């Protein structure tokens, strides 16, 4: 942790719609974490102004826009990252993928060793939780699609950069859920936020 016993939590919301259930889940987590003494910062990717296209790949570095520079500092200050997002087409929403493409770069979140296929992980010491919403049963997403979006974020991004452990909470089926079920999920977020998990 960065100071004393207060845990610095960063909630990164990848849903583009503020009226979505993803924002309600993030809010429930945040409120519980604050009540338990955590310091909570937020990044709502939909509110950021940046070009999500890594225009030159890795051949030429694009300057980071102010919102991305601020986001990078928030990530560096955090002890625990909470990623909230829906699964669309088996993966991440476009702006969220663009956020990762533009920000999780060599020299910022990892660094390849000279003349080697191996790399240094620059975000070690942090933990994370992925909270993802889906419109199919969790078992179907796992067995038929291999948890594609979860693996992309957990293994190929967060763990690649040294963040571990990365725990996952899958919320669904969203489209057929009623108010009672959604209340249960919100209570789950309150529980997780209260434990800073």
Over the Cα atoms of the chain, what is R_g?
17
In this predicted structure, what is the pLDDT of residue 94?
97
- Give how far Cα 35 sits from Cα of 25, 78, 86, 150, Å: 16, 18, 26, 29
pTM of the model: 0.94
In this predicted structure, what is the pLDDT of residue 5?
72
Only one residue has tokens 């509110």, namely: 47
In this predicted structure, what is the pLDDT of residue 196?
83
In this predicted structure, what is the pLDDT of residue 71?
98
Query: Going residue by residue through the chain (197 aa), what tens digit of pLDDT does each one get?
Result: 444 578 999 999 999 999 999 999 999 999 999 999 999 999 999 999 999 999 999 999 999 999 999 999 999 999 999 999 999 999 999 999 999 999 999 999 999 999 999 999 999 999 999 999 999 988 889 999 899 999 999 999 999 999 999 999 999 999 999 999 999 999 999 999 999 87
Q: What is the 3 state secondary structure string of the chain?
A: CCECCECEEEEEECCCCCCCHHHHHHHHHHHHHHHCCCEEEEEEHHHCCCCCCCCCCCCCCCCCCHHHHHHHHHHHHCCEEEEEEECECCECCHHHHHHHHHHCCECCCEEECCCCCCEEECCCCCEEEEEEECCCCHHHHHHHHCCHHHHHHHHHHHHCCCCCCEEEEEECCCCCCCHHHHHHHHHHHHHHHHHCC
């Amino acid at each position: 942790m960065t100071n004393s016993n207060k845990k610095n939590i960063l909630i990164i919301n990848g849903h583009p719609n503020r009226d979505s259930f993803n924002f309600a889940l993030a809010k429930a987590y945040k409120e519980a974490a604050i009540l338990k003494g955590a310091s909570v910062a937020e990044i709502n990717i939909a509110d950021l102004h940046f070009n999500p296209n890594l225009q030159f790949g890795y051949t030429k570095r694009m300057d980071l826009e102010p919102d991305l520079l601020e986001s990078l500092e928030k990530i560096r200050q955090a002890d625990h990252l909470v990623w909230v997002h829906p699964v669309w087409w088996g993966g991440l929403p476009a702006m969220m993928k663009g956020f990762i493409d533009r920000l999780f770069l060599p020299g910022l979140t990892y660094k390849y060793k000279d003349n080697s296929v191996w790399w240094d992980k620059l975000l070690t010491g942090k933990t994370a939780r992925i909270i993802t919403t889906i419109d199919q049963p969790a078992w179907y997403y796992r067995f038929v699609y291999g948890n594609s979006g979860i693996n992309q974020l957990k293994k190929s991004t967060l763990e690649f950069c040294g963040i571990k452990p990365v725990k996952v909470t899958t919320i669904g089926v969203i489209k057929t859920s009623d108010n009672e079920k959604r209340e249960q999920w919100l209570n789950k977020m309150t529980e997780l936020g209260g434990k800073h998990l």
